Amino acid sequence: MIIVTRPNITEAELDHIRERVEAAGLRTHLSRGERRTILGCIGDESLLEGIALRSIPGVESVMPVLRPYKRASVDFAAERTVVNAGFGARFGGNSLAIIAGPCSVENADMLEQTAKSVRASGASMLRGGAYKPRTSPYSFQGLGVEALKMLAEVRSQTGMPVVTEVLDTRHVDVVAEHADMLQVGARNMQNFALLAELGRIQRPVLLKRGLSATVTELLMAAEYIMAHGNNDVVLCERGIRTFETGTRNTLDVSAIPVIKRESHLPVIVDPSHAGGDADLVAPLSFAAIAAGADGLIVEVHPDPESALSDGDQSLTFDAFSSLMSRLGPFAIASGRSMEVMSS
Ligand code: PEP
Ligand code: MN
């Protein structure tokens, strides 16, 4: 931590700042210039968290030198994390991990059909919402526990691991019982009680970036889960709110290399919720993979026009199969194997 003082600081004020910092357990180093004095604080910055440094008389600005996240930071890991979701689905290795399936689980039949089709096309994991975070309370809210049972049943039929969203701390255990990976939706990225609960389970977490969250806020949300005991976190860029109205959200492609620079955690992209339009899913997927994403999560439906949620952005089975067959060159461009499926 570096503390820059005001030009007119008195010696008494300077002494007071030093005393506060040293009393917290850090050492200080003074650097006196012609007009300003800079105070370097050496030691564990987190010990200063309880002090409102900027409010101390004579302090002009305070600059942290370390990243605010620790467990999620590249500085704190010997190598990049590979998250294993079971049944061969791995996030962060040399191959891409592709998750596909309907926005919502609507019935057992459509789920099974979708699972079989996306698996044949090379997807390594099935998605399907049981609890849906809908903007309107009058929209379809998901089938809840019934949908969880359908997901578990399709997993045992097909051998495909499943991921589904958990909306509420009260549902963490039942979702963890049925699913291989738990998704935190964009709207819950800063639901700290939920993140803490997910820290104590033995299942990987797919953490989606909030609608208006910075990359730092996303990594701090991952830090919550990790600080509570669960290191298996996969991050997901799913588009952010901007002034642009041509797409549902704006896919922040730059977040991928930024996250890779900042964190050892794997990062995947959701081109479906980013673009909000089935026609945009393939180009956004290509951009994501070329930029270094570790995988994708894509909405696929047997009959998008009659989907109970997000039909406009859902791919047909054929469109998904075509997308999968065109990913290889982008994977190679970003230094991965041509092999898309990780199992
Ligand atoms: C979803 O994946 O179905 C979903 C609701 O996504 P997001 O939280 O990114 O909007
Ligand atoms: Mn959706």
Q: What is the pLDDT of residues 184-230, one digit of tens each?
A: 999 999 999 999 999 999 999 999 999 999 999 999 999 999 999 99
Mean pLDDT of the chain: 95
User: Which listed ligand is nearest to 209 at the C-alpha?
Assistant: 1
Asked whether 118 and 161 are in contact (CB, 8 A), the reply is: no
49 and 109 assigned to the same domain = no
Q: Out of 32-36, 54-58, 243-247, pick the least confident.
A: 32-36
Domain boundary among 36, 64, 92: 64
pLDDT at 33: 83
User: Which listed ligand is nearest to 237 at the C-alpha?
Assistant: 1
For residues 231-259, average pLDDT: 98
Q: Out of 39-43, 145-149, 231-235, pick the least confident.
A: 39-43
Q: For ligand 1, atom 3, name the residue with the nearest CA.
A: 103
Q: Distance from the CA of 296 to the center of ligand 2, in angstroms?
A: 14
Q: Distance from the CA of 54 to the center of ligand 1, in angstroms?
A: 38
110 and 205 assigned to the same domain = yes
55 and 129 assigned to the same domain = no
Question: Is the per-residue pLDDT at 79 higher than 70?
Answer: yes
Determine the structural domain holding residue 292 and report its residue range: 83-333
* Residue 340 pLDDT grade (very low, low, confident, very high; cuts 50, 70, 90): low
Question: Is the per-residue pLDDT at 296 higher than 80?
Answer: yes
58 and 90 assigned to the same domain = no
Q: Which residues contact 83 (CB under 8 A, 6 or more apart)?
A: 90, 91, 92, 204, 232, 233, 234, 265, 266
Q: Which residues contact 91 (CB under 8 A, 6 or more apart)?
A: 82, 83, 84, 85, 97, 204, 234, 266, 268, 294, 295, 342
pLDDT at 203: 98
Query: Per DSSP, what are the bridge partners of residue 125?
Result: 99
Structural domain includes residue 131: yes
117 and 16 assigned to the same domain = no
Structural domain includes residue 73: no
pLDDT at 124: 96
More confident residue, 65 or 286: 286
Closest CA to 274 of 246, 309, 295, 300: 246
Q: pTM of whole model > 0.85?
A: yes
Closest CA to 330 of 246, 264, 271, 274: 271
193 and 275 assigned to the same domain = yes
Asked whether 206 and 297 are in contact (CB, 8 A), the reply is: yes
Asked whether 61 and 4 are in contact (CB, 8 A), the reply is: yes
Structural domain includes residue 76: no
Atom number of ligand 1 nearest to Cα 187 = 8
280 and 240 assigned to the same domain = yes
CATH of the domain at 238: 3.20.20.70
44 and 191 assigned to the same domain = no
Question: Is the per-residue pLDDT at 342 higher than 60?
Answer: no
* Pairwise CA distance, residues 71 & 118, whole Å: 34
Distance of CA 206 to the CA centre of its chain: 6
Q: What is the pLDDT of residues 40-59, one digit of tens each?
A: 898 888 899 889 999 999 99
User: Which listed ligand is nearest to 249 at the C-alpha?
Assistant: 1
Structural domain includes residue 342: no
Q: Distance from the CA of 273 to the center of ligand 1, in angstroms?
A: 7
- Ligand 1 first shell, C-beta below 6 A: 103, 129, 133, 185-187, 208, 238, 270, 273
Q: For ligand 1, atom 6, name the residue with the nearest CA.
A: 185
pLDDT at 29: 87
98 and 215 assigned to the same domain = yes
Q: Which residues hold their Cβ within 5 A of ligand 2, which is an ion?
A: 103, 310
pLDDT at 32: 87
25 and 148 assigned to the same domain = no
